[in-house]
A and B are shown apart, each in its own frame.
Chain A
């Protein structure tokens, strides 16, 4: 990694409330820090994000939304795009789609992990947000050596995310945003990595001191961890505490007690997740796990150990795989997974089994459902899984391992250890595993060293199988490191560096010492020989069998007993010992050898090492030896006895010593045993207590479950009731107000707000506090009245907006029939009232119209189609003559004897039904029998189940009559004209017969025509009723008489001649007159005509006399002219006699007059 060109990367994660927080952040961070800022927030995958533009207004740094790829540059801000995750690789940032559908819930974790993988010293900042995104990611950052800053939860709008990050205990700084930006600026300004100075050899020393300090304070030795990791962790702490160099940091470490713990925690940081390296776990599940269930393990138990389990994810992962496999088979062997770690805090988390919801990105939905219980933003391990897993505090390097294991999963622990330690750990694993057991390592680890212990099963997945050692015999427990680190290091440390100038002297000195000093052996506290002097070999004789470095196994048999005791004393009591002389065969000769054992004391520290010196004594005399050999021979002298006694003494001494030692050992053992027993007792009682509490908890749990269920049911029922209530209120859409007994508002429906000035917050306040729209002053009084008398009150009340409300008040009864206030409903009856008003008005109108109809003179009546007359107005009474009482109830067609000219009443009724109306002429008969022709308008009105008929009639009898009369007149006229023409025609013909010349004809004809016309005139004047005889005579004769009254005398009472007599009578008179003018009295100047008549016999007989006098002498005509014919025959039914007296013609006419005068029209 080139630190110069790549800018430091600051990852900022935020969620709910984050926009505000980010704005504050970027407003206060300077634009020249040279760092690249990456902002990750939770975005709606379907919506556009405006975050980039929002932040751009707060900072001078360019703000870019990463849609595809971008090269990371300093003083730039990069923002995540919706529905994308961000990944860093080689100085570029890329936006990629999510692989897991659930993974988009934890984009911050994903980014932090990516950041941790790529760069060493990134910065992770967690701001406000709901949930726990980022909590896992910051641990990865920390492990990689980055720095974690978290917003102060008390300042954050949503404290959940900051809190979750803090709970991982990896937060370096927890500050409000503005101080956070200050801190970050300082950190960015300080040199990137104080690691580089450590390359100097001076600091090797300081490092050692630091580690030693940690060991002293925490009891854990990290001197054999990977140098690079250790340095990184230390430099990170140095950066955090702002110490520029290692010695400075060491000084700080020494002066601050908590720093040692912090550094220790940092050393222990390991990030673990569920199913870390899923491919490897897949291989494990397919290739290894099934086999565990086969073979020896079937029926027994399956034991797995996970050292360095930290927060337990890996342990639970293995548990999940085993449980899944067990479910696949019907077996249920006992499964035990042990998780162990140094970090007590991490173990607590593991035991708790509670993980943030962000684990969803590592576990399938099915596994989450089966093995975890969702608790808000967390998942808790279910009992099934929790029961198979056990966590214990354990140091891999210090404590004896678990044993008889089928599998060990130790991933990403060995990488922190140096090579030697790795190998030793591997050996330990090999010891702990059953033959054929499986070792599962992390992705950059291997079990190849020491060789021969493991066989590779899957190199990719790092799965190894333990190779069975040497036959059946269990391999001896390899040398484990004690509390102190391996001795290899110790001599290095113990031996100070010597100056170059003194090397040769020291070497010479050492050489000489070596030559002269007794052979020696350096022993460690486990009684193992760790260093031999040059000549010590002669005192050693390792026994056959596996090679051991145990001191007592190495030395010659003769020394073993004494050595053991001496070592014991040296290490337990710090006592140096010098043994009795021991006979040993050296160079073919027995020698007395003294064993001197001296503990190597270092101050008050417990003895770690002892030095064994083989002090070679004089050779034992052969003779003595020889003599001692032949015990059964006599030559045993006093010397022999003395020798024997000496030996016996020695033996007795030794025995005593041995007995003492043995007793001491026994004592110790007994004490130990007692201790163990009491511990055992304690443990047993503790276990029993735990068992009891477990049972108690179980039953409490069950109780709680039951209570919980009950509460749940109750809650559901209440919810339902509440929903029903809400819906009911909404459905009735009625403004309702619930008041408590002191008239305070309990609740109300939203519609009430149209009437009262209340809002949803006003519950609890007295209703009288609020103004309302109604003209209703007595609301409170009415409510009080209802409460007191328990009877409902109802009022119709006008509102100020011209509406009307029906106010109903009733007491509020609880289920147990207690009165708890008042319920008031306000029903909007505006429409109803308006309808009422309208109805009233229309009723009044109807009334008026009915009265009008009543009073009208037009005959209007109403009859029921299927019944009788219902209404009969005055006009009907007047026209038809029936009173109302007489008419009502009668069938109309019967009462009025209705006939329909040209049709029938039945047809009329049918038409009414079909079309609803009928109009036309009807004949109605009045009460006095008069038949009237009426024009009738009829309408059928259905009214409910009745059919009413409205009929209005108009008497058109007169009109009819006039029409008839007119028709008759026309006919009459036509007839008369034709008749008259025929008469004229006959006059013409007849005149023609009896005249002899044209002039004669014309004269006669004109004269007759004239007479006819005069007669007609009189008739017309009388409207054809007739002509009075006198007037007729005058009209005919006046011309002949001239002015001389004496010539014509007319005498007689007025007599009316009917038309059919008047016309011919006129003509007759005309003939008489013309004859008189030609031949008679009118021809002479003195001639006179006298016309007289008499009516006798009841106006029936008319006798007319025409008398001529003083005219020329009369001669009877030779022939009968037409005039004569006319005179004698022209009057129908008359007797006419002409007497031709010589002095004047006398004509008598007797005619019978008809009885009564006729109405002309009736003819």
Chain B
């Protein structure tokens, strides 16, 4: 069924970076955010792609999986923090201590999450 575009688009105008190496999840997220009115950068399925995007793309927010490929998205989050771009983690695992300390209270949405939760988290982060 096709979703009808709503008048209520919480993420309207946002440019969101999605870093996720599982294609199906990434596509799903992409749809969810698009439906909510956002533009998607990515999905970046490798660390290099994510870093590139984090470095040079204009972004409103980034949604990162904690693990990306072989490593973690620590450098990505560092980059984003440098740029002052808010980000949250959407992952099936807990933040490793190192990243926890750096990010210091970063939002982690646990997989699997409903579209509502995910979009809601992004929206509230954008609003903050």
Contact = CB atoms under 8 A, between A and B. Distances in A.
A1132 B92 contact: no
Interface in A985-1005: 985-987, 989-990, 992-993, 995-996
Nearest to B96: A971
Contacts of A1163: 70
B92 A977 contact: yes
By size class, the interface of chain B is 20 to 34
Interface string B34-52: 0000000000011000000
B77 to A, nearest CB: 18
B123 to A, nearest CB: 19
A1075 interface: no
B81 to A, nearest CB: 24
A982 to B, nearest CB: 4
A985 B92 contact: no
A143 B31 CA distance: 161
B101 interface: no
A1132 B49 CA distance: 11
Contact of B92 (A979, A996, A1158): A979
Contacts of B92: 974-979, 982
B15 interface: no
Contacts of A1131: 23
B22 A979 contact: yes
A1113 to B, nearest CB: 28
Nearest to B90: A982
B24 A1126 contact: yes
Interface in B73-111: 91-93, 110-111
Give the dominant DSSP class at A's interface: helix
Contact of B23 (A974, A995, A1064, A1158): A1064
B125 interface: no
B3 to A, nearest CB: 7
Interface string B1-38: 11100000000000000000111110111010000000
B112 interface: yes
Interface string B48-76: 00000000000000000001011000000
A1131 B31 CA distance: 17
B23 A981 contact: no
Given A978-B93, A981-B112, A1132-B46, A993 B27 contact: no
Interface in A930-977: 971, 974-977
A985 B112 contact: yes
Interface string A1053-1072: 00000001001100100000
A1005 to B, nearest CB: 13
Contacts of B1: 992-993, 995-996
Contacts of B93: 971, 974-975, 978
Given A976-B92, A986-B27, A986-B28, A981 B111 contact: yes
A1129 B112 contact: no
Interface residues of A, number: 33
Contacts of A982: 22, 25, 28, 92, 111-113
A1130 B25 CA distance: 10
A990 B35 CA distance: 13
Given A976-B92, A989-B115, A1163-B70, A983 B22 contact: yes
Contacts of A725: none
Contacts of A990: 24, 27-28, 31
A987 B26 CA distance: 11
A1132 B1 CA distance: 26
A986 B46 contact: no
A979 B111 contact: yes
A987 B24 contact: yes
Contacts of B25: 979, 982-983, 986
Contacts of A1130: 23-24, 27
A1125 B27 contact: yes
A1130 B23 CA distance: 5
A989 B112 CA distance: 13
B59 to A, nearest CB: 21
Contact of B3 (A987, A993, A1067, A1126): A993
A749 B2 CA distance: 125
A995 B28 CA distance: 16
Nearest to A971: B93
B72 to A, nearest CB: 11
Given A982-B92, A993-B31, A1129-B27, A1060 B111 contact: no
Interface in A862-906: none
A1133 interface: yes
Contact of B67 (A975, A983, A1158): A975
B21 to A, nearest CB: 6
Contact of A1133 (B28, B46, B112, B113): B46
B111 A978 contact: yes
Given A975-B92, A977-B92, A989-B31, A983 B45 contact: no
A1132 B25 CA distance: 12
Interface in A1129-1163: 1129-1133, 1158, 1163
Nearest to B66: A975
A986 B92 CA distance: 15
Contacts of A1126: 23-24, 27
A1129 B23 contact: yes
A488 B23 CA distance: 185
A1161 to B, nearest CB: 13
A996 B67 CA distance: 35
A1060 B31 contact: no
Contact of A986 (B21, B24, B45, B69): B24
Q: Which of A982, A984, A990, A993 has the most CB of B within 10 A?
A: A982
Q: Which of A979, A984, A993 has the most CB of B within 10 A?
A: A979
Nearest to A978: B92
Given A975-B93, A982-B112, A986-B28, A1132 B3 contact: no
A977 B27 CA distance: 18
A985 B67 contact: no
Contacts of A1067: 24
Contacts of A1125: 27
Contact of B28 (A976, A978, A985): A985
Contacts of B29: 986
A1060 B24 contact: no
A976 B29 CA distance: 18
Contacts of B23: 1064, 1126, 1129-1132
Contacts of A1133: 45-46
Q: Which of B25, B92, B111 has the most CB of A within 10 A?
A: B92
A1049 to B, nearest CB: 27
Contacts of A986: 24-25, 27-29
A1063 B23 CA distance: 10
A1024 to B, nearest CB: 14
Contacts of B113: 982
Contacts of A1064: 22-24
Q: Which of B24, B25, B27, B92 has the most CB of A within 10 A?
A: B24
A986 B43 CA distance: 15
A91 to B, nearest CB: 126
A981 B22 CA distance: 12
Given A989-B28, A989-B31, A978 B112 contact: yes
A251 B110 CA distance: 162
12 contacts: A971-B93, A975-B91, A978-B111, A982-B25, A992-B1, A1060-B69, A1126-B24, A1129-B23, A1130-B27, A1132-B21, A1132-B23, A1158-B70
Given A981-B112, A990-B24, 20 more contacts: A975-B67, A976-B92, A977-B92, A978-B92, A978-B111, A982-B25, A982-B92, A982-B113, A986-B24, A986-B29, A995-B1, A1060-B21, A1125-B27, A1126-B24, A1129-B23, A1130-B24, A1130-B27, A1132-B45, A1133-B45, A1133-B46
Interface of A: 971, 974-979, 981-987, 989-990, 992-993, 995-996, 1060, 1063-1064, 1067, 1125-1126, 1129-1133, 1158, 1163
- Which 3 pairs show the lowest CB-CB distances between chains A and B? A978-B92, A986-B28, A1132-B45
